[in-house]
């Protein structure tokens, strides 16, 4: 938890709750219902993306909602391989579109091959997405990649 609101992209991980903030107050803050000074995003988002329900976004083309998930992973399509299964797991955990999960895993996997640990992968993803990446998200990404069978390859 935190005590101050930091505006940013907050993707793929959502912003943390403020100290003492219950679930209703947290949702209201993320959707802007508590006022602009408490709204954590530096871009417009619709309600679903504001609270992290990206797969239920009512603006799939991203015409009004400027959540990064609308363009993350463009050109990546599921290929029925072990990475797709891993991306599906990440998508379910964080309600991300499958292509966004594929993009995150591919980007993180490159860093892991370079010898980065969880903190290094988190830092890289944070820099890449311009967003704070929660420790739990970073750990989940690395653990999901580590669980892939030896020798898997994305074609």
CB 58: neighbour CB atoms within 10 A?
10
Are 58 and 94 in the same domain?
no
Are 99 and 136 in the same domain?
yes
Are 59 and 119 in the same domain?
no
Q: Which residues contact 15 (CB under 8 A, 6 or more apart)?
A: 5, 6, 8, 30, 40, 132
Q: Choose the weakest-confidence range: 9-13, 54-58, 150-154.
A: 150-154
pLDDT in tens, 119-133: 999 999 989 888 888
Q: Which residues contact 71 (CB under 8 A, 6 or more apart)?
A: 62
How far is C-alpha 36 from the geometric centre of its chain's CA atoms?
22
Predicted TM-score of the model (pTM): 0.59
In our burial notation (b when 16+ CB lie closer than 10 A, e otherwise), range 104-143 reads bbebbbebbeeebebebbbebbbeebebbbbeebbebbbe
Residue 57 in domain: yes
What pLDDT sits at residue 141? 92
Question: Does residue 73 register a pLDDT over 70?
Answer: no
Residue 154 in domain: no
Residue 126 in domain: yes
pLDDT in tens, 31-67: 888 887 888 888 888 888 888 888 888 888 888 888 8
Q: Within 13 A of 13's CA, how many CA atoms are on the CB side?
A: 20
What pLDDT sits at residue 124? 93
Residue 75 in domain: no
Residue 4 in domain: yes
Tell me the backbone φ, ψ of residue 78, rounded to 5 degrees: -55, 140
Give the dihedral of Cα atoms 67, 47, 37, 133; nearest 10 deg. Answer: -50
Give the total number of structural domains in the chain. Answer: 2
Question: Does residue 146 register a pLDDT over 70?
Answer: yes
> Is the CB of residue 5 less than 8 Å from the CB of residue 40?
yes
* Encoded tokens for 97: 């579109």
pLDDT in tens, 91-129: 888 888 888 888 999 899 889 888 999 999 999 998 988
Residue 26 in domain: yes
Are 38 and 64 in the same domain?
yes
Residue 129 in domain: yes
Domain that holds residue 27: 1-70
Are 59 and 16 in the same domain?
yes
What pLDDT sits at residue 2? 67
């Amino acid at each position: 938890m935190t005590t101050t609101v930091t505006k940013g992209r907050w993707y793929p991980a959502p912003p943390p709750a403020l100290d003492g903030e219950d679930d209703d107050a947290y949702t209201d803050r993320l959707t802007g219902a508590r006022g602009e000074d408490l709204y954590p995003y530096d871009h417009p988002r619709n309600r679903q993306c504001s609270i992290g329900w990206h797969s239920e976004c009512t603006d799939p083309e991203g015409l009004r909602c400027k959540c990064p998930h609308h363009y993350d992973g463009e050109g990546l399509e599921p290929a029925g391989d072990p990475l797709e299964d891993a991306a599906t797991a990440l998508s379910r955990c964080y309600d991300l579109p499958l292509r966004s999960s594929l993009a995150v895993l591919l980007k993180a996997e490159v860093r892991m091959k370079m010898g980065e640990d969880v903190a290094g992968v988190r830092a890289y993803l944070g820099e890449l997405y311009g967003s704070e990446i929660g420790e739990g998200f970073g750990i989940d990404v690395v653990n999901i990649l580590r669980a892939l069978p030896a020798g898997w390859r994305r074609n």
